[in-house]
Amino acid sequence: MPAAFREKNPELYRVVVELRRAAHAHDAPVWDSVADHLERTRHQVIPVNVGHLERVAEADQTIVVPGKLLADGPLSKPLTVAALSYSAEARTKVHAAGGKALTISELLKAKPDGAGVRILG
pLDDT at position 2: 59
* Cα distance between residue 70 and residue 26, in whole Å: 31
Instruction: State the pLDDT at residue 64.
Output: 97
pLDDT per residue as tens digits for the range 8-49: 889 999 999 999 999 999 999 999 999 999 988 877 778 899
Domain that residue 19 falls in: 3-119
Sequence-ordered alpha helix ranges (H) in 61-121: 88-96, 104-110
Tally the domains of the chain: 1
pLDDT tens string 55-105: 999 999 999 999 999 999 999 999 999 999 999 999 999 999 999 999 999
* This prediction's pTM: 0.91
Within 13 Å and on the Cβ side, how many CA atoms surround 14? 7
CATH of the domain at 87: 3.100.10.10
Q: What is the DSSP letter of 47?
A: P
